[in-house]
Amino acid sequence: MEVGLIGAAQIARKRAYCRYSGYAVGAALLDESERIHVGCNVENASYGATLCAERSALARLVSEGGRRVRAVAVATQDGAPPCGICLQSLLEFCPDPDQVPVYLVDASGKSRNLTLGSLVPYGFRGRTERA
Ligand code: ZN
């Protein structure tokens, strides 16, 4: 599954709409039903309206009925990790982030295997109830 997930992210990267940054990103997420959902970055002339590849894939996962992210692959030029907003967004669908592999693949195909928990060890989980 790891190879299929990475390949899906690499294909999605080719579809990136990144006319402003020139930095193409593809992401692929594995859900609880072993389905793969892909996304790419979608930039906008109003930069704040830009959508990252990871959140683009997450919107697809949720809209297609998924509720858990079991694995993540991100394809970029240099193997960079997801941004902070995307890490937070992924956490919402990963109750045990230490068990969620994140494969970061660069343009040469070289990949690093981390976990979501290692990338965001103190992620926000909502308001802490007070006694
Ligand atoms: Zn992002």
Q: Which residues contact 14 (CB under 8 A, 6 or more apart)?
A: 24, 26
Query: Which residue ranges make up each domain of the chain?
Result: 2-129
90 CA → ligand 1 middle, Å:
10
What's the CATH number for 2-129? 3.40.140.10
Residue pLDDT tens, the chain, 131 long: 677 999 999 999 999 999 999 999 999 999 999 999 999 999 999 999 999 999 999 999 999 999 999 999 999 999 999 999 999 999 999 999 999 999 999 999 999 999 999 999 999 988 877 76
pTM reported for the whole predicted model: 0.94
131 CA → ligand 1 middle, Å:
35
Give catalytic residues, as residue numbers. Answer: 54
Q: How far apart are CA 42 and CA 4, in angstroms?
A: 23
H helix runs in 14-124, sequence order: 53-63, 84-91, 116-119
70 CA → ligand 1 middle, Å:
18
Q: Are 55 and 69 in contact (CB under 8 A)?
A: no
Evaluated on CA atoms 9, 12, 17, 18, the torsion sign reads: positive
| pLDDT in the model for residue 1 | 65
